[in-house]
């Protein structure tokens, strides 16, 4: 294809009339999406758009993460381990993308943020129901979070359902049972509304898997996929903490939390503790 007058000619087969056809913007509902950024600072601060888009795109990714993790749980319940692993790989890459995305927000200096932070009122990422949903389905359940969403009954109800439902890890343990591994019954019958805490009785189960990967390849690969996921999630948490620290120091969060100290404590939470503890026993 030749380029004349500095322009690339449009190919004959390219459609240009969309009066009766769905176009790109219509499929993606771009008019609504691109009209969803409403700065509240007065006068409007030029960096508030960055702040809004950063968090909106994160919420879009969370929507996909929750979709994929729900699918992982279903796949494991139906013994479709290959599909479960594919979905976990996708989630892992999403969190890597989200971790790198903090570098964009980190271009917002403390002085710039201070000029419009007060306009946020009590709005805070702490109130993200999608983030809480992701944590719940991965095992970090906390019934005390439900009142935060009392003003949005549909969000509260979706969280309640996740609170009372098996986690991805619960589904994985039942997958192990289906493949001949002796997971203690009291663990399988646990109170699903409680946050997962380390179960030392599971360590021998994972020791057996890691001792002979060839004999237990699907289980072994799933264990490593879950560790990959947790590493990616924790790295995202760490980048969040560091971005907050460099932007507001040790100020309280807009939602009333202690800020950096609150985020630091989140780093101590783990979704799959036995998969890390078993490494001490290997070899």
Q: What is the pLDDT of residues 112-167, one digit of tens each?
A: 999 999 999 999 998 999 999 999 999 999 999 999 999 999 999 999 999 999 99
**Residue list, annotated binding site for heme:** 240
Q: Give the pLDDT of residue 9.
A: 83
Write the burial class of residue 228 (CB in 10 Å: 0-12 exposed, 13-18 middle, 19+ buried). Answer: middle
Spell out the SS3 assignment of the chain.
CCEECCEECCCCCCCCCCCCCCCHHHHHCHHHHHCCCCCCCCCCCCCHHHHHHHHHHHHHHHHHHHHHHHHHHHHHHCCCHHHHHHHHHHHHHHHHHHHHHHHHHCCCCHHHHHCCHHHHCCCCHHHCHHHHHHHHHHCCCCHHHHHHHCCCHHHHHHHHHHHCCCCHHHHHHHHHHHCCCCCCHHHHCCCCCCCCCCCHHHHHHHHHHHHCCCCCHHHHHHHHHHHHHHHHHHHHHHHHHHHHHHHHCCCCCCCCCCCHHHHHHHCCCCCCHHHHHHHHCCC
Q: What is the pLDDT of residues 48-59, one digit of tens each?
A: 999 999 999 999
Q: Give the pLDDT of residue 60.
A: 98
Q: Give the pLDDT of residue 3.
A: 62
Q: What is the mean pLDDT, run by run of 10 residues, along the chain of 283 residues?
A: 71 87 95 98 98 98 98 98 98 97 96 96 93 97 96 97 98 98 97 97 98 98 98 95 94 88 87 97 89
The answer to whether the predicted template modeling score (pTM) of the entire model surpasses 0.85 is yes
Q: Give the pLDDT of residue 255.
A: 86
Q: Give the pLDDT of residue 212.
A: 97
Q: Give the pLDDT of residue 206.
A: 98
**Residue list, annotated binding site:** 51-55, 113, 117, 240, 254
**Residue list, annotated binding site for substrate:** 51-55, 113, 117, 254
């Amino acid at each position: 294809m030749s380029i004349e007058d500095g322009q690339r000619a449009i190919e004959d087969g390219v459609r240009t009339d969309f009066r009766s056809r769905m176009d790109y913007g219509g499929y993606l509902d771009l008019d609504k999406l691109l009209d969803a950024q409403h700065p509240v600072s007065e006068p409007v601060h030029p960096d508030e758009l960055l702040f809004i888009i950063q968090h909106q795109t994160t919420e879009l990714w969370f929507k996909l993460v929750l979709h994929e993790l729900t699918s992982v749980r279903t796949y494991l319940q139906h013994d479709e381990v290959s599909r479960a692993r594919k979905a976990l790989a996708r989630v892992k890459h999403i969190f890597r993308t989200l971790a790198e995305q903090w570098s964009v927000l980190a271009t917002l200096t403390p002085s710039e943020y201070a000029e419009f932070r007060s306009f946020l009122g009590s709005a805070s990422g702490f109130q993200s129901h999608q983030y809480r949903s992701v944590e719940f389905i991965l095992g970090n359940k906390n019934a005390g979070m439900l009142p935060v969403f009392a003003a949005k009954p549909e969000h509260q109800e979706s969280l309640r359902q996740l609170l009372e439902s098996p986690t991805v890890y619960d589904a994985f343990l039942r997958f192990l049972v289906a493949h001949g591994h002796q997971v203690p019954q009291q663990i399988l019958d646990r109170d699903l509304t409680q946050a997962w805490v380390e179960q030392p009785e599971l360590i021998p189960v994972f020791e057996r898997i890691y001792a002979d990967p060839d004999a237990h390849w699907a289980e072994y690969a799933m264990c490593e996929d879950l560790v990959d996921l947790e590493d990616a999630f924790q790295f995202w948490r760490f980048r969040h903490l560091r971005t907050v620290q460099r932007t507001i120091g040790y100020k309280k969060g807009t939602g009333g939390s202690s800020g950096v100290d609150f985020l630091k404590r989140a780093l101590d939470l783990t979704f799959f503790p036995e998969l890390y503890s078993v490494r001490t026993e290997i070899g």
